[in-house]
Amino acid sequence: MNYIDVITCYPTFMRADEITSLIAQGEGLNVAFARRVSAAYINEWRVIEIMACLANSRGGTLLIGVDSDGTVSGCHPFHGNTTDPATLAAAVFRNTAPGLAVDARVVEIDGKDVVAVTTQAHSSPVATRWGTYRTRRLNAQGVPECVGMDPAYLFTRYRDANGTDWALTPAPGATLADLNPEAIVEFRTLTSDSHLQSLDDEGLIRALGFYDDSLEPVALGAIALFGEQMALRRFLPHHHLVIADRRATPRTYRSSAPLALMLSDLQRNSDVFGDGLPLVVNALTHRDYFVPQPVYVAIDGKGLRVTSPGGVPRGVNLQAVADGQATYAPRSLYLATALARMGIARAAGSGIADLSAARKTQRATTLSFAGSHDQGVVASLSWDTEGRVAAASEQSSDVDQLSENEARALQTVRDLDGRSASSSEVATKTGLSKQQAYRALRKLVDAGLIRRTGETRTTRYLV
């Protein structure tokens, strides 16, 4: 596609009334003003930089000839005695990489010329020909400005835009000796895939897509899942989990174990997180491993808050996710698939959707993504203790209709005082067979009297 094709197909055409409305709203993340009462003010190069900056954020419009306070001062001509919109747009396209299509128009406002240059958000980072990468942010005073893009964020944007799965990136110099045998054993124990269980260590890692016959055979996904501590520090130094539990006696837990061991340990201690475990698992699965921050989990009497490094993938609507819409946009398809086969993470974006459905039926929690930003996703659950009591009251009539096995299983789970148990543990405590306990627990879950966490071998039950 050549430049003329791009320009003629571009859909944005600013009218005078729309420009007047933008001026009234003032500058923001998608609107910028620039004064040009003479050639000494903003030049063509600066226009190119600002348009690339807007494209790297939400897209937007640069209004040249409007002062920072919204006063229309008029735009001094760029090209002799006039401003040629096509020439200005061509300059932007020619001096950006990839070439950025913009719509440039000269519109008369209050008897003065204003040049409106508009672009849309660009999936791949846009640079100027002289090597600057900028994006639009609010500074500490809440004023919008163009700032340099952080290198880690820039890498993430390129990777996401070009469909590169980071977990398949070779780990230079790594060998099978850099992988923790205990982590591989834990994966093999938890997976319900009989084929994976039957493979030796190298065969299992090959089947997951993280080992091949190239000169650099070990992929970063193998390091993330099974890496020894030295390998993790070398290849994925930002892989950390911090849990700050402020209930009762405040405690802080830190871990940099490989994901296979870390997630297995979280599953065994799922009581700590209540309904929030899927959020922690989701953060560890889909975080940006190249942003120098840990996954941070804060828990107190009011709820749970998970901060995951890395912005929201483009196309993901967090409000839709909070409302229960299944959304699947993994940073690494291979890593997400491996964890789903392990039986801890859910596949196809259903984990948080299931959580949303559960909170609606049980009235147990409120899910929010308030506070998320370009560098991190923040997911919060607030405990709704009144909702739990109300739900329990509504379900009390169902207890009278339970079978003897179901009643025994329910009482056993309630006696755990908030802890969880597997179906085998419930069978042992009730004297039921494993099959009888499983059927009773399944019916109790369907009735909303108890909850289930985990999948396959990691499934546990709690009130």
Q: What single DSSP character describes residue 36?
A: B
- At 292 the pLDDT is 83
Q: Which CATH architecture has domain 394-462?
A: Orthogonal Bundle (1.10)
DSSP 143-194: -EEEEEPPHHHHHHHHHHHTT--GGGSB-TT--GGGB-HHHHHHHHHH---H
Cα 132 from chain centroid (whole Å): 26
How far apart, in whole angstroms, are the C-alpha atoms of residue 217 and residue 8? 47
Closest CA to 207 of 184, 190, 189: 184
Q: Which helix (H) or strand (E) holds 438?
A: helix 434-446
Closest CA to 460 of 285, 260, 273, 268: 268
What tokens does 451 get? 């909850």
User: What homologous superfamily does CATH list for 3-149?
Assistant: Schlafen, AAA domain (3.30.950.30)
Backbone angles phi, psi at 138, to 5 degrees: -90, 135
Question: Beta-carbon neighbour count of residue 185 at 10 Å?
Answer: 14
- At 42 the pLDDT is 95
Domain spans, the chain: 3-149, 166-235, 241-326+339-386, 394-462
Backbone angles phi, psi at 134, to 5 degrees: -130, 155
Residue 22 burial (C-beta neighbours within 10 Å; 0-12, 13-18, 19+): buried
Asked, as a colleague might, if the bond just before 98 is cis with ω within 30 of 0, I would say yes
Contact 225, 210 (CB under 8 A): yes
Distances (CA, A) of 391 to 302, 363, 384, 463: 19, 7, 11, 12
Residue type, 94: R
- How big is the chain, counted in residues? 463
pLDDT tens, N- to C-terminus, the chain (463 residues): 333 333 333 344 568 888 999 999 999 999 999 999 999 999 999 999 999 999 999 899 999 999 999 999 999 999 999 999 988 988 998 899 888 888 899 999 999 999 999 998 887 899 999 999 999 998 888 899 999 988 777 777 776 666 678 899 899 889 999 999 999 999 999 998 899 999 999 999 999 999 999 999 999 999 999 999 999 998 999 999 999 988 877 889 999 999 999 999 998 888 888 888 889 999 999 898 888 889 999 998 888 999 999 877 666 777 777 777 776 677 888 999 999 888 876 554 444 545 544 444 444 468 888 888 777 899 998 876 554 444 444 444 455 567 888 888 888 888 876 678 888 888 888 888 888 888 888 888 877 778 777 766 667 888 7
How far apart, in whole angstroms, are the C-alpha atoms of residue 369 and residue 66? 36
- At 4 the pLDDT is 35
Question: Beta-carbon neighbour count of residue 173 at 10 Å?
Answer: 11
SS3 at position 424: helix
- Number of separate helices (H) and strands (E) present in the chain: 19, 16
- At 417 the pLDDT is 66
Outline where DSSP puts E strands in 200-353.
241-245, 251-255, 295-300, 303-309
Contact 238, 292 (CB under 8 A): yes
Q: Which CATH code of 3.30.43.10, 3.40.50.720, 2.40.50.660, 3.30.565.60 fits the domain covering 241-326+339-386?
A: 3.30.565.60
Looking at the DSSP bridge assignments, the partners of residue 377 are 308
How far apart, in whole angstroms, are the C-alpha atoms of residue 309 and residue 373? 10
- At 1 the pLDDT is 34
Distances (CA, A) of 204 to 197, 352, 376, 383: 8, 28, 32, 40
SS3 at position 430: helix
- At 30 the pLDDT is 92
Looking at the DSSP bridge assignments, the partners of residue 453 are 460
Contact 434, 424 (CB under 8 A): yes
Residue 155 burial (C-beta neighbours within 10 Å; 0-12, 13-18, 19+): middle
Looking at 295-433, list the stretches that DSSP marks H as alpha helix, in order from N- to C-terminal side: 318-322, 333-342, 350-362, 385-399, 404-414, 423-430
Handedness of CA 153, 156, 158, 161 (dihedral sign): negative
Q: What single DSSP character describes residue 312?
A: P
- At 396 the pLDDT is 47
Contact 239, 223 (CB under 8 A): no
- At 451 the pLDDT is 79
